[in-house]
Amino acid sequence: MSTAPQQKTILVTGGAGFIGSHLCERLAKEGHRVISLDNYFAGSKENHVPGVEYREGHTKQIELLVPERVDIVYHLGEYARVEKSFEDVEKVWDLNKLGTFAVLEYVRKTGAKIVYAGSSTKFSDGGLGRDQSPYAWSKATNTELVKNYGTWYGITYAVVYFYNVFGGRERGTGPYATLIGIYKEEYKKGNPLTVVLPGTQARNFTHVDDIVDGLVLVGDHATGDDFGIGNDEAHSIVDVARLFSDDLVFLPPRPGNRLASSAANEKMKALGWRAQRSLKADIANFLNVTTPETAKEKHILVFSTTFAPVEGLTEQALRELMEQLPDVHFDVITSRFAKNAESMTAFAPNVTVYRVGVGRMIDKYLLPWLGAAQALALMRKKEYLFSWSLLASYATLAGVLVRRKTGAPLLVTLGDQSLERLPWYMRIILARLLRGADQVHVSTSLQERAVRNIFSRMNAAPSRTAPPPAGGPAGRPE
């Protein structure tokens, strides 16, 4: 005769997040006392579920906020984004290093079992993935710390690894959105789907309910490391995008974006776990019940200090690109600069030029402010895939100001500029400009080295003139 599981007091850090809220819901339904500790950095009160006690605060305060004795701590409450961790390195250290140290001290003192959510990034690209981003490094070293606490202090622990989780409550917008969530939002809005090049990078997408099945199983029955909870079936990013639509936009490569991954789930299978839900079925169900909005016109906002009749090789190449992409509308913000500029009207039908200034040399100094004002006015009427600045110039400063105001992604193309012998003060100015961009495209290997020397954390990607338009123009980030 089977008996009901013994009621436990269980703490879930990050319990108001995507995965944490599903775990809390399952544990509460099984009759356990469930406490959620979340600082709502990535979690949301919209994810609260019945039967759970919610406490708001940082994991560094765990002893103060959770004074009662608990049986299990599911530690999910950490920073969890690869690419953005380059910008958020201080948050990564605060949440993933200081916070996790406090959690380990808590379980050492209370005797609770800890189930730590490691990151499968440390297994990717032949083990090189562990050092490819601040996030990956923090998670890899935390798993070592958890195991050392087991050796040093005898704590009971288990380390699990998730593989690209999707399902209900995942974010589709904002900097901490998940890929499948983003694709669902883009599809609903009728927008093209964004694919980071090369597009062949593989992922083992795993449904959140399968993740929770594994977490509960490990919490009840397992100790040790290497419990990978991931679907055996891998999909490339471009193949996933095409499950939704053939209307794709390709983005330049990004730092820390691993190319290969496989689910190391042998120990979970030994416990009896198997993935029960498929990504293809989930997407098919979503498409069956979703009617996309009418597709929006594709707009790109371009900042250029000069643009016909005063133009160089880069501006000429831009005009050629515009002619090659007739389904994309380019709004060009530039200086009036020359008095006869207004007579230049023979552009492609997909180009609109907005000139600012008084028709004199001073216009380039006015462009950052007048150009930014013009861009903000246009953005109130149109939605742009991204902003693009030619050369690191006064036009780039306009783009940076707009990015700070709106968060719109900004790409910078350096064209044929020579950067190798810039004086020190110009290097400081250039570093500030490039730091405000999401992506920098260079024309030569010498430029790439110069950019990396000026700002070592920049992601400078080789480019002829523009982001490679494979299958379409470059677009906004995932």
Where are the chain's structural domains?
9-289, 298-462
pLDDT at 127: 59
pLDDT at 86: 85
Range list of H helices, 325-459: 363-379, 394-406, 424-435, 445-454
What CA–CA distance (Å, rounded) separates 35 from 75? 12
Asked if residue 256 lies in contact with residue 136, where contact means CB atoms within 8 angstroms, the answer is: yes
Asked if residue 216 lies in contact with residue 28, where contact means CB atoms within 8 angstroms, the answer is: no
- Does 298-462 match 9-289 at the fold level? yes
pLDDT at 453: 59
Sign of CA dihedral 277, 278, 282, 285: negative
pLDDT at 66: 97
- Fold of the CATH domain 9-289: Rossmann fold (3.40.50)
pLDDT at 271: 95
Sign of CA dihedral 36, 39, 41, 45: positive
Given a cut of 70, the residues of the chain with pLDDT beneath it are 1-5, 123-129, 175, 252-261, 294-296, 309-315, 338-347, 391-392, 415-430, 432, 441-478
pLDDT at 172: 84
Structure tokens at 87: 């910008």
Q: Nearest Cα to 74, choosing from 2, 8, 165?
A: 8
Q: Given 3.30.70.60, 3.40.50.150, 3.40.50.300, 3.40.50.2000, which CATH number is that of 298-462?
A: 3.40.50.2000
For residue 456, the one-letter residue type is S
pLDDT at 473: 33
pLDDT at 295: 60
Q: Nearest Cα to 87, choosing from 133, 141, 137?
A: 133
- Degrees to nearest 5, angle at CA 167 with 164 and 169: 110
pLDDT at 142: 95
Asked if residue 244 lies in contact with residue 237, where contact means CB atoms within 8 angstroms, the answer is: no
pLDDT at 5: 60
Q: Nearest Cα to 384, choosing from 397, 392, 373, 375?
A: 375
Asked if residue 263 lies in contact with residue 228, where contact means CB atoms within 8 angstroms, the answer is: yes
Which residue has tokens 């110069």? Answer: 450
Structure tokens at 431: 């570093």
